[in-house]
Amino acid sequence: MNTDQRNQTIKIITAVTFLIMITVNALANILPINDMTTGQLSDSYPNLFAPAGATFAIWGLIYLLLGGYTLYQLGIFQGNTTTDRTELIYKIGILFSVSSIANTSWIFAWHYEIIPLSMLLMIVILICLILINQLTSREHFSKDEYFFIRLPFSVYFGWITVATIANATVLLVSLGWKDFILSDASWTVIVIALGLVIGLVTMLKNRDVAYGLVIVWAYSGILLKHTSPEGFGGQNPVIINTTIGCIVLLLLGVVYLLISKRKRMGY
């Protein structure tokens, strides 16, 4: 197989695995798989880290952006792009295909409540996205390239960062971890703070505003869950205050990146 055939094969695999992923994710809630939606299963493992249900609407944006990338790597939307991204798209294609397979498999593990396996698959997705974002953060993209190549994986990576923590929390709940040494509220504060450190360091290291804003979105969902009457109705002020503090710090990080970018560009 020559290089052109190799590249075309990966592009096709990328498109097919993406289509399978969004189809299975849709069917998971339409059928639903194992008679429960993805959200209902999440609610069956109650914990203080889970965000409000509306927060998960970000999946629509994620799949829209990933769909744009999938079409872009097939040659659509590339226009008069002069920079050769063949090798980059090949490397991303391998990792994205693996992540799509893992995402599809995660749905079945989750819906059939094989939580340890779902955790393992989530880690596979996370590792793939870490590697993809390492590739994209080193590149200098045009506006179109940024929108179709870097942005989709920044948003996806941001959400999966929080989703991995949420999945780990569900795993602990499934194993009966409750009020171990510390109260649930105390453990949640620790987990939220850990997520802040991971998110802030990753955002600043990769100079990735989109990634940071997704973490803000996720944490806003946690805040909404704890303050709304439909959620916990303000029962855990320490979690509310911690989450607000984390959101403020993340937004300060976003502002810092935006200001530093303007300075680099001479504005």
pLDDT at site 245: 98
pLDDT at site 73: 96
Q: How many domains are contained in the chain?
A: 1
pLDDT tens string, the chain, 267 residues long: the values are 788 899 999 999 999 999 999 999 999 999 999 999 998 999 899 999 999 999 999 999 999 999 999 999 999 888 777 678 999 999 999 999 999 999 999 999 999 999 999 999 999 999 999 999 999 999 999 999 999 999 999 999 999 999 999 999 999 999 988 767 789 999 999 999 999 999 999 999 999 999 999 999 999 999 999 999 999 999 999 999 999 999 999 999 999 999 998 877 765
AA identity, residue 249: L
Separation of alpha carbons 223 and 227, rounded Å = 6
CB 103 within 8 A of CB 59: no
Q: How many CB atoms within 10 Å of residue 154?
A: 26
pLDDT at site 221: 98
CB 88 within 8 A of CB 137: no
In the Cβ-directed half-sphere of 201, how many Cα atoms lie within 13 Å? 7
Contacts of 105 (CB under 8 A, 6+ apart): 121
In the Cβ-directed half-sphere of 140, how many Cα atoms lie within 13 Å? 2
Number of H helices, E strands in the chain: 10, 0
Give the residue numbers spanning the domain of 162: 3-264
User: ∠ CA(86), CA(89), CA(90), 5° rounding?
Assistant: 85
Based on the number of CB atoms within 10 Å of its own CB, is 175 exposed (0-12), middle (13-18) or buried (19 or more)? exposed
